[in-house]
Amino acid sequence: MDATKPKAKHAPKENNRRTKIGPHAAAALRLLIFTGARLREILHLKWDQIDFDRGLLLLPTSKTGKKTIVLNAPALAILNGLPMALLLPARLLIALAPISRSHGRLLRRVRA
């Protein structure tokens, strides 16, 4: 058997395989896991909605109305690790490039 060929019958196509995702996409996925927030809440999060002193996300426009999410230590570490050049209140926290088909599938799986 050829070692370069995938063993699974329905393996993803070569051009859809990703070995590395960008740092903002990775941060968004980790925040989804650690906070339990909705995808839109994380992707539209702004720096002025984070209270680092109290460890809170203050979401004024959530699907269910105004909401506060308590941040655990891993979520705070992720937020502290994001580039400080983005520390402007009006800027989006997670600046993702346009989502490719493979990333779109990944995010749909995370939402499900």
| Token pair recorded at residue 28 | 């968004």
Domain that holds residue 82: 47-89
- Report d(CA 69, CA 58) in Å as an integer: 7
The reply to whether 27 falls in a domain is no
Q: For the chain, what is the domain count?
A: 1
CB 40 within 8 A of CB 111: no
The reply to whether 30 falls in a domain is no
CB 72 within 8 A of CB 36: no
The reply to whether 2 falls in a domain is no
The reply to whether 4 falls in a domain is no
- Report d(CA 88, CA 47) in Å as an integer: 7
Q: How confident is the model at residue 34 (pLDDT cuts 50, 70, 90)?
A: very high
| Token pair recorded at residue 51 | 């209270």
pTM reported for the whole predicted model: 0.62
The reply to whether 61 falls in a domain is yes
The reply to whether 107 falls in a domain is no
| Token pair recorded at residue 49 | 């909605």
The reply to whether 60 falls in a domain is yes
Q: Which pLDDT tens digit goes with each residue over 67-107? A: 999 999 999 999 988 876 544 444 555 555 544 455 555 55
